[in-house]
């Protein structure tokens, strides 16, 4: 009887032990909803910078923090879908970039903190109430494009002798692209340049825009945007085919065959966004679910702006000679 009782006890414990272990669920990691308006490949450098800075601050992906990625690929209908999904998943903070993504996130939640690594003019685009007192659950880093638009046009004039007509391609479904379009129009007027506007809203609008442009421009200014970023290779191929030198706002466009870019250091902006996340997860920001600091609007540091990249291979294909004075000031030259 003793032997039977012992065996019965062992059998009972062998059943109970796995059930007890199964009941011990690991603690849920704090979760960042990372919401990118372009593609995984296009944003790879930004993601790497963000994750590396988090690691430096003690947040190691899949060990001390979870990062849930979503890629919108420039599709306007996906913005609200992703924002709503993050709310259902109850992420601890949403990190995104670009005005449409921030607006969609803000509409989806007034509770979850929203950090934008980049966004254009948050006040004029109704992301925040003011720079000094943003209020609500949105904060981050902003791009001030007015001066950059003029500088980009000046650089195009240096590269294209006798430049008179410039086309600008913008996704008019993006409120910030509309603002940038206005800045470029004002700068073009000051510089005595004629501007031809190419308005797009969807990927299928790109080819017809180029077809309508034939013979009407000597260069192309491309507004940085999720839709355009997703289609940057196709845009640059079409531009080269049309013999149009291009000016962009981000390095990855030049890597994809664009002629030049001048603008902010996007990876550095995502590094700084990681610092916001660190403060939120440690409870030193948004303690009352309200932004308690000024937005870093207009505070673009030396590491953030003035980055000129030139693609010499594209220049040779277009038959252009880049002035040595310009190459000497370039941050990067792609052979």
Can you give the pLDDT of all 335 residues of the chain as single tens digits? 444 443 444 344 434 434 444 444 457 899 999 998 888 888 888 999 999 999 999 999 999 999 999 998 878 889 999 999 999 999 999 999 888 888 999 999 999 999 988 877 777 777 777 766 677 888 888 766 557 889 999 999 999 989 999 999 999 988 888 888 988 999 999 999 999 999 999 999 999 999 999 889 999 999 988 889 889 999 999 999 999 999 998 888 999 999 999 988 888 889 999 999 999 998 865 544 444 444 454 344 445 555 789 999 999 999 999 999 999 989 889 98
Q: How far apart are CA 136 and CA 106, in angstroms?
A: 9
What confidence score (pLDDT) does residue 284 get? 64
Q: Are 105 and 86 in contact (CB under 8 A)?
A: yes
CA-angle at 187, arms to 129 and 180, nearest 5°: 40
Sequence-ordered strand ranges (E) for the chain: 31-36, 66-71, 93-96, 114-116, 138-140, 165-171, 194-200, 219-222, 246-248, 260-263, 307-311, 332-334
Beta-carbon count within 10 A of 150 CB: 17
> Does CATH number 3.40.50.2300 belong to domain 146-263+305-334?
yes
Q: Are 151 and 262 in contact (CB under 8 A)?
A: yes
How many residues are recorded in the chain?
Answer: 335
What confidence score (pLDDT) does residue 43 get? 84
What confidence score (pLDDT) does residue 175 get? 82
The torsion region of residue 291 among left (phi > 0), alpha (psi -120 to 50) and beta comes to beta
According to CATH, the topology of domain 31-143+265-281 is Rossmann fold (3.40.50)
Q: How far apart are CA 229 and CA 256, in angstroms?
A: 10
What confidence score (pLDDT) does residue 119 get? 78
Q: Are 116 and 150 in contact (CB under 8 A)?
A: no
What burial letters (b/e) apply to 117-139, b meaning 16+ CB within 10 Å?
bbbbbbeebebbeeeeebeebbb
Residue range(s) of every CATH 3.40.50.2300 domain in the chain? 31-143+265-281, 146-263+305-334
What confidence score (pLDDT) does residue 174 get? 86
Tell me the C-alpha to C-alpha distance, in Å, between residue 181 and each of 117, 145, 247.
21, 10, 14
pTM confidence score: 0.75
Q: How far apart are CA 115 and CA 273, in angstroms?
A: 7
- Of 263, 250, 237, 259, nearest to 320 by C-alpha is 259
């Amino acid at each position: 009887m003793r032997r039977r009782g012992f065996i019965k006890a062992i059998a009972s414990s062998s059943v109970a032990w796995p059930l007890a272990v199964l009941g011990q669920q690991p603690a849920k990691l704090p979760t960042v909803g990372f919401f990118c308006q372009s593609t995984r490949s296009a944003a790879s450098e930004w993601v790497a910078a963000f994750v590396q800075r988090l690691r430096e601050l003690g947040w190691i992906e899949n060990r001390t923090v979870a990062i849930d990625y979503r890629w919108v690929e420039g599709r306007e209908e996906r913005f609200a879908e992703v924002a709503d999904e993050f709310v259902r998943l109850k992420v601890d903070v949403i990190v995104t970039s670009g005005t449409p993504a921030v607006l969609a996130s803000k509409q989806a939640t007034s509770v979850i903190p929203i950090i934008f690594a980049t966004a254009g003019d948050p006040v004029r685009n109704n992301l925040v109430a003011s720079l000094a007192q943003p209020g609500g659950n949105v904060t981050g880093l902003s791009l001030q494009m007015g001066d950059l638009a003029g500088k980009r046009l000046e650089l195009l004039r240096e590269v294209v002798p006798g430049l008179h007509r410039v086309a600008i391609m913008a996704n008019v479904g993006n409120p910030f692209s509309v603002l940038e379009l206005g800045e470029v129009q004002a700068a073009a007027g000051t510089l005595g340049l004629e501007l031809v506007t190419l308005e797009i809203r969807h990927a299928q609008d790109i080819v017809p825009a180029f077809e309508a442009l034939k013979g009407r421009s000597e260069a192309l200014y491309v507004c940085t945007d999720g839709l355009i970023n997703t289609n940057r290779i196709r845009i640059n191929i079409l531009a080269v085919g049309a013999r149009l030198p291009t000016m962009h706002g981000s390095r990855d466009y030049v890597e994809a065959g664009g002629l030049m870019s001048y603008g902010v250091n996007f990876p550095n902006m995502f590094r700084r966004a990681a610092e916001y996340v660190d403060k939120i997860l440690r409870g030193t920001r948004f303690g009352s679910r309200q932004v308690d600091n000024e937005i870093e609007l207009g505070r673009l540091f030396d590491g953030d702006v003035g980055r000129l990249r030139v693609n010499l291979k594209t220049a040779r294909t277009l038959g252009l000679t880049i002035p040595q004075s310009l190459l000497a000031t370039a941050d990067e030259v792609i052979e």
